[in-house]
Amino acid sequence: MNQPLSYGGAIRIDGLRVSFSGKLILKDVNLAFPARTISVVIGRSGSGKTTLLRALNRLNECFPGCETSGTVKMQMRDTVVDVYRDGLPLAELRRRVGMVFQVPNVLPVSIGRNLALPLRLVLGIDKREIPDRIEEALKSVHLWSEVRDRLKDRATTLSGGQQQRLCLARVLALQPDVLLLDEPTASLDFRSAMKIEELLLHLKEKYTVIAVSHSLSQTRRLADVVVVLSEGRILKRMSSSEFSEHQAVEALLEAAF
């Protein structure tokens, strides 16, 4: 544990296998994700994309019958941690590898308390500091100007796009190293989706971002690295320039989708 990173990526996966009740979903996945980039995982439904994301912060273990083998090594600040072997508490792992889901999962409380509760309960922030931290988190997702006078309103009164940005702000407030995004714009209208995309392009300057997407056009707009997953295996890992070469990629995508 805590050895200097000996490879170029922020995350390295070796021999990862994940099954549920004996059904193998991920099959000997070997993969590296570079730091401070957006890596987009694509593939047909049921190919294992979400399972791959959840393997990075061990959320698969929330489901019955899950068995995982292999290694997931991750750069966290100035150390490297094997998330399945080095004894990092799950709460700490999931704080540092934050996840935003397809459908916004705001808490059924006010906008302000959606941020204040995790700041106090997870980070132990003094209540006198919380207003400044809330403002900082909301500004980081370009939401502060829209809700600064509504912090006591219920979060469910926000639009879908605003709720998704609030969920992202809640993750960022906990000071993660990695952001996992499971189709974060799938339930949003076009304009809201474009706001999220613009935000992600900005956030990659500070965070390692790994997203699942069903949209090839969105993948072209966002991805620095594209990972094609098919039936639980990595079919191809390519750069954004390789992915943009339509003729070279057409047969690959036909096989994957």
Q: How sure is the predictor about 7, in pLDDT bands with cuts at 50, 70 and 90?
A: very low
pLDDT score of 86? 86
pLDDT for the residue 77? 76
What is the pTM (predicted TM-score) of this model?
0.91
Average pLDDT over residues 1-29: 79
Asked if the 35-49+88-256 domain carries CATH number 3.40.50.300, the reply is yes
pLDDT at residue 98 greater than cutoff 80: yes
Mean pLDDT of 149-165: 97
pLDDT digits over 169-193, tens only?
999 999 999 999 999 999 899 999 9
The reported pLDDT for the residue numbered 185 is 94
**% of the chain at pLDDT higher than 90:** 84
Position 8 pLDDT exceeds 60: no
Task: Tell me the per-residue pLDDT of 115-147, one tens digit each, with 9 for 90 and over.
Answer: 999 999 999 999 999 999 999 999 999 999 999
Residue 4 scores a pLDDT above 50:
no
- Predicted confidence band of residue 253 (pLDDT cuts 50, 70, 90): low
pLDDT of residue 255: 62
Helix (H, G, I), strand (E, B) or coil at 3: coil
On whether the CB atoms of residues 98 and 178 are closer than 8 A, the answer is yes
Return the axis-axis angle of helices 111-121 and 130-140, rounded to nearest 10°: 120
**Euclidean distance between CA atoms 151 and 144, whole angstroms:** 10
Contacts of 211 (CB under 8 A, 6+ apart): 38, 39, 40, 41, 180, 181, 182, 183, 184, 200, 222
- The pLDDT value given to residue 243: 86
Estimate to the nearest angstrom the gap between the alpha carbon of 37 and the chain centroid: 12
Phi, psi (degrees; rounded to nearest 5) at 90: -60, -40
DSSP 199: H
Instruction: Supply the mean pLDDT for the chain.
Output: 91
